[in-house]
Structure 1
Amino acid sequence: MKLFVALVPPSEAVEELAAVVRPLHSLPQAAPLRWTGLPSWHLTLAFLGQVDAEQLPPLEAGLAAVAAAQPAFALRLGGAGHFGDRALWAGVHGDTAAIGRLAGASADAARQAGLGVDDGHGFTAHLTLARSSTPRSAGRHAGRPGGPDLRLLAAALTGFRGLPWPADTLRLMRSHQGAGPSPYETVAAWPLAQS
């Protein structure tokens, strides 16, 4: 199973963001992008990659302990950024220290369960909106010929500030690439501690 740990914004926050993102789809800069679908929008805390079934019990126990120790906190979606010319994302505001701690604790729980965690780029709280469909022939951030200029699209979302929402559930999610309207399913979920 291909797994990751995430927070999922409530539908109100997703719809609010979707309303400001939809007009970007028709801009010329958006032509080489694959837009992510609303049912798949989430904030990845730790990407775990392939996980065997026998690794699930210690992983789930560790994540349950993480959730029990972390009080719920408030977030809001707002602004935007990009990873080179590969991905456009919506930013996250609010208690960013708490989401950073939750991401770190989730990665630690995965390591204690014997899993590798892909955190080579550090943690940046974000919600991926679109990915480039241009092949990666010239390197990660090289500004490939024909690659999209995501700066203009990110700038169009600079003023967006969504309403606050409670980050109150830690989720272990499975990726089913290319399957249906939502390529992700929740494997297990744990409520964060009440503050």
Structure 2
Amino acid sequence: MRLFVAVNPPTAAIQELVDAAAPLMDMPGADRLRWSEVAGWHLTLAFLGEVPVVDVPALETLLARAADEHGAHRLRLAGGGTFGDRVLWAGIAGEVWALRRLAEAVREALPQVGIESDQHGFHPHLTLARAGSSHGQRRAERRSAVGELQAMAAALEEFRGTEWEAAELHLMSSERGFGPARYRTVASWPLARWEA
């Protein structure tokens, strides 16, 4: 199974971002991007890759423990940015420190069940679009692509969605075939709630 661990924004927060991102589709360069399917918008905490089905129960036990040890927290979708000339993303604001701690706990625990997650540092974001390969592009074309993505990110700079509660940890599967990947929840766990 091709798996990842995520926190999923609620439908209302996703709709706010859909509305904020709609004008980006008319900006220069938007037609050259592969826009993410709204149904696949999530905050990936750790990408696990291919995991044998027999390892999933141990993984679920580990994730249940992580959820029990980390509290629900308040987040909002806010702003935007790019990863070079390749990715346009929406940012996250609010109790991001709590989201980071949850991601770190998940990533640090994975080797206990023989799973290595992606090696990239955790940068909380929601991917909106990806550029095609820049291989073979002239330097001027790459600079133009970077400028176009940066202009789109700047157009999202003032976006601040409504605050929502990140209250569940999800083990998700990514199923590939023809067309975009399809995502489904394998299991979910509520994050802890502590009395003040």
- TM-score after normalising by structure 2: 0.91
Aligned pairs for 1:1-195 within 5 A: 1-119=1-119, 121-132=120-131, 134-137=132-135, 144=142, 147=145, 149-178=148-177, 183-195=182-194
What secondary structure does 2:81 align onto?
strand
Alignment deviations for residues 42-75 of structure 1 (CA, whole Å, 9 cap, x no partner) = 0000011110011111111000000011110000
CA distance in structure 2 between the aligned counterparts of 1:88 and 1:177, rounded to whole angstroms: 22
Q: List structure 1 runs of 4+ shifted beyond 4 angstroms.
A: 178-182
Q: Give how far 1:194 is off.
A: 1.2
CA 1:179–1:62 in 2, change beyond 3 Å: closer, same or farther? farther
Q: Give how far 1:144 is off.
A: 3.1
Count of aligned positions: 191
Amino acid at match of 2:69: A
1:85·1:143 contact (CA, 8 Å) conserved in 2?
A: no
Flag structure 1 segments of 5+ consecutive residues without an equivalent. none
Q: Which has the higher helix share?
A: 2
Amino acid at match of 1:114: G
CA 1:80–1:2 in 2, change beyond 3 Å: closer, same or farther? same
- TM-score after normalising by structure 1: 0.91
Percent identity, aligned pairs only, is 49
Q: Give how far 1:109 is off.
A: 2.5
Q: Please provide the CA RMSD for this pair.
A: 2.0
Alignment deviations for residues 121-178 of structure 1 (CA, whole Å, 9 cap, x no partner) = 311000000111x224269xx9737745310000000000011000000000001134
Flag structure 2 segments of 5+ consecutive residues without an equivalent. none
